[in-house]
Amino acid sequence: KRRIGMMTSGGDSPGMNGAIRAVVRTAIDAGCEVYCIYEGYEGLVKGKDFIRKFEWPFVRGWLSEGGTLIGTARCMEFYERPGRLLGAKNMVLNGIDALIICGGDGSLTGADKFRAEWPGLLEELVQTGELTAEQTKPFKHLNIVGLVGSIDNDMSGTDATIGCYSALGRICEMVDYIEATASSHSRAFVIEVMGRHCGWLALMAGVATGADFVFIPEKPRAENWKEEMCGLIAEHRKFGKRKTIVIVAEGAHDQDGGKITCEMIKDLLADKKGLALDTRITTLGHVQRGGTACAYDRMIATLQGVEAVKAVLDATPDTPTPFIAINENKITRKPLVQAVIDTKEVAKAIEARDFKKAMGLRDTEFID
């Protein structure tokens, strides 16, 4: 029987359990055995109890569970060749020749590297006497399939990553809560949201809550952003608005690359010579990442998990490593390497202050 390994890696995201459930059950249904690798790459490196065979009922009820029930870690050991050698050895010892990995772009890049190195890793394991040639013979090729699990929605090539809509929903819910108290006291709130280098969460939360002002990394505000923001908020207040909401992506900065902090914005809004607004800061933090998955994330996690197993079964030695995407409501297979390159391009463009390019790559031109 074919043995497929399943793991979650990097930061957890809501919907990862739905993806595991779909992979486990689709693989079993297709006549394969499925092994979950606990704690991401750390479990692959450590082997033994970290690699466990899963049966159909093991994942019962997992769709409604937040986080990842098989654990995740950011494993430094796997970044080094000795760590990857141990990973390869544990795969052979467990008879696993295909891996489905649910994680962010970093985790998936690591996976593709592992695949590229695979024959060399096996040769080295034989040369050093860790494994025999006989043991490695049936494992000529390694199949990898990526599922993108991240709240940041920062992967190029897919409209949504597993978890991003749950996090967005959570942010909106929190902003609604804040709005009630903000209105009561006629206060301003500066709300920091996650997203690393990506402004998707902040931007969409701004749209969905009707925030007064939003800061994102892909589109730093013009040089006169202070006047622009204060002018706009003053206008909103003149219309009779009793609350002010400013959403700040954690990666936001000005056009010169200086970080825009919540404190900076708070000081501006509170300035006695200016708007003089009673202002508070709320950093939403990990409430955005924890908790149960919304219906959309459960749905894509399931459909993409099914597709990931199909991609494993369809793979030939020449198939480039795919990741499972969603594009215009269709579940698709895309080459992983290209998506990783494009994702890195965005980060590079932001770093090089080429915001036009970054915005284009992020499909956020419409915010102008």
User: Mind telling me the catalytic residues?
Assistant: 152
Pick from 15, 40, 87, 195 the residue near ligand F6P by CB under 6 A: 195
| Segment interacting with ligand F6P, rule: CB under 6 A, options 113-121, 150-158, 233-241, 332-340 | 150-158
Other beta carbons within 10 angstroms of residue 88's beta carbon come to 26
How far apart are the C-alpha atoms of 336 and 114, rounded to whole Å? 13
Of residues 11 and 18, the one with the C-beta less far from ligand F6P: 11
Nearer to ligand F6P, 46 or 289 (CB): 289
Using CB under 6 A, pick the residue from 72, 143, 150, 153 that binds ligand F6P.
150
Contacts of residue 154, defined as CB under 8 A and 6 or more positions apart, other chains included, come to 104, 105, 161, 195, 196, 197, 198, 200, 343, 346
Q: Which of residues 79-108 bind ligand F6P (CB under 6 A)?
A: 104
Spell out where 44-125 has E strands. Answer: 51-54, 98-103
* Residue 89 or 362 with smaller CB distance to ligand F6P: 362
In the block, residue with structure tokens 């991240």: 150
Q: Which part of the chain contacts ligand F6P (CB under 6 A), choosing from 41-49, 88-96, 192-200, 356-364? A: 192-200
Query: Which 219-278 positions form the footprint of ligand F6P (CB under 6 A)?
Result: 250
Residue with Cβ nearer ligand F6P (11 or 143): 11
Q: Which residue is nearest to ligand F6P (CB)?
A: 194
* Residue 363: other Cβ atoms inside 10 A: 11
Sheet holding 213-215, edge to edge: 213-215, 244-249, 188-193, 279-283
Coil/strand/helix, residue 212: coil
Residue 11 makes contact with ligand F6P by CB under 6 A: yes
Instruction: With beta carbons less than 8 A apart as the criterion, state whether 214 and 202 touch.
Output: yes
**Least CB distance to ligand F6P at residue 172 (A):** 16
Q: What share of the chain is helix, strand, coil (3-state, %, to 5)?
A: 50, 20, 35
Q: Among 161, 160, 89, which residue's Cα sits nearest to residue 126?
A: 89
CB of 11 to ligand F6P, least distance (A): 4
- Is 206 within 8 Å of 248 (Cβ atoms)? no
Binding status of residue 194 toward ligand F6P by CB under 6 A: yes
The interface mask with ligand F6P, positions 287-306, x = CB under 6 A, is --x-----------------
> Which helix (H) or strand (E) element contains residue 5?
strand 3-8
**Shortest Å distance, C-beta 193 to ligand F6P:** 8
Identity of the residue, 3 or 196, whose beta carbon is nearer to ligand F6P in the bound complex:
196
Binding site for ligand F6P (CB under 6 A): 11, 104, 150-152, 194-196, 250, 289
